[in-house]
Every structure is written in C-alpha cells, then in structure tokens.
Structure 1
C-alpha cells in the first residue's frame, strides 16, 4: 500500500487567503517512510526529476512544452515551475527531497507532485507513506543520490 498524509502541505505552510487563490505558503519537502528505503529512494529520485516539469496549474510539461515555454518567457508571462529540486537525501528516517517553489505552492502543483510521487512509489511495488519531514530531520552529512541530469 502506498499513501500520503492527508495534511502533508498544511504541516509545511499556511494556506493562502481565499482572495489569493488556493494553495500554501511553502516550498514543499517529501519524506518517504517505507519497508524498502532503497527502492523508495529511487522512486523519489524519479519523481524529483518529474517535479521540475510540473507547473502551477498541475500540468506535467513535456520537454517540448518546456522549450516552447522558455522561448515564450522572453516575451510574456509563462506558467511557473519549481526553481530547484534537491537530490535525494538518505536521512535516518527515510529518503527525502525538498523543492524550491519560492515559498508559494498552488494546490494544483502540490497535488500533481504528490500524484507523481505516489505513482513512482507504486511502480516499485513497495509499502510506503509520504509525510512532511519534521523540522529536526538531519541533512548535513547524510548520503545523497543525485537526481538524473543534475551535476
């Protein structure tokens, strides 16, 4: 079974005021509690690569769409995608990644990220629960798995 804490984003940031739309004031992080940390870490790495292609409307853009979007950015406003996705940290509690969404997470983007992560975990055939990492999870000095395409 693979699932996520229902309040994963509420735990990480305040909800926007209704007049500002639907979302949270956060750059989300995802911690995977699993019966197989190795497979969970690989699934999280694949999901992290995909996160960088999810826009504020919850669409997972193809490389072709991203190229068009980058060209369009020179002339008009384009949908926002995360600025950065961390490598996978192999913490004592389980693998995790954090994202940089400039402190703004739309509901559509958050739900799409969670959908992608759950999909990748299910593909591994493991038991896993996705939660918000606690503030005291250590990151300094822990092993990391680089995301594909990162340097």
Structure 2
C-alpha cells in the first residue's frame, strides 16, 4: 500500500517566509527530494511531476497549454531540473526566481505527492539538506 508523507515545514527549511510579493510565501526556488526504497518508481514519479510543475502558477493552479501562451499574467517557474540521483534519493529543483508563493508551493507539492501515489510507493518528500551534493550526481532527463 502506498504511503506518501511530507517533511514538516518543507518550504521553511528552504527559505525565509515572507508576507509580501505574490501574496506571501518564501524566498526560495524549491527542491523536492524523495526518500523511498523504490528508487526507480520515485524517479518515474519525479519525471512526471517535473513536466507538470512548469505549468503551476502563483495561485497553485495547473494551467492548460492554452493558458500558457503568454496572453495571461500568471507567473510560472522558469526552469525545472532533470531528476538527480543523489545519495539520499532522487530530487528535482525549480527556478522560481527566488520567490515562491504559498499557492505555487501548495500546487507543486500536490503534484509531486499525486505522482508518487500514482506509482503506488511508500515515500517521504523532503527538502534536500543544504550540504547535499547533487551537481555531479547522475541524472535522468525529464523529457526522455
């Protein structure tokens, strides 16, 4: 049976909380580390999630392709990394220009958790420790 949990204060671990721009949130571009005994399914879940994360706006809505044409004022991530295979588990990081609204954070997390559940695995979604080395870790493309 799948059991997906989320590290408490996932986003607080990655940046300072603020109440200003975009309706509150954090000063960070978030990363998602998945700790699971089934690395292959965790990687597949992060690949699927990463593709979807590109379309999450500042309110947490997953925009349609039509809504992402540039005619709409929504703010979405600039970049989502490939899946890095770290010593602690697979991870992805995002580029939100250092601004993560509460809505965008909730939307991104909802997608990551849903994709892990779809893989029917037990996993914990966590913030990567600040000293985790991933830059030279092997990676798996999000667009194979």
Aligned to 2:79: 84
Distance 2:67 2:78 in 1: 17
Q: Tell me the distance in 2 between the aligned counterparts of 1:11 and 1:142.
A: 22
1:26 aligns with 2:28: yes
In the TM superposition, 1:1-151 aligns within 5 A as 1-16=3-18, 18-20=19-21, 21-67=23-69, 70=70, 72=71, 78-148=73-143
Where 1:40 maps in the other structure, the secondary structure is helix
Using the size of structure 2 for normalisation, the TM-score is: 0.93
Bigger Rg over Cα: 1
Give aligned pairs, total.
141
The 2-side partners of 1:145 and 1:113 are apart by: 20
Shift of 1:140: 3.0
Q: Distance in 1 between matches of 2:107 and 2:129?
A: 22
Structure 2 unaligned segments of length 5 or more: list them: none
Q: Specify the SS of the correspondent of 1:58.
A: coil
* Structure 1 residues 46-69: Cα deviation after superposition (integer angstroms, max 9, x where no partner): 1011010000011101112212xx
Structure 1 consecutive aligned stretches of length 4 or more whose deviation exceeds 4 Å? none
- What is the alpha-carbon root mean square deviation over aligned residues? 1.3
TM-score of the two chains, using structure 1 as the length reference:
0.89
Q: Give 1:126 deviation, angstroms.
A: 0.4
SS of the residue corresponding to residue 48 of structure 2 reads: helix
Gaps of 5+ in 1: none
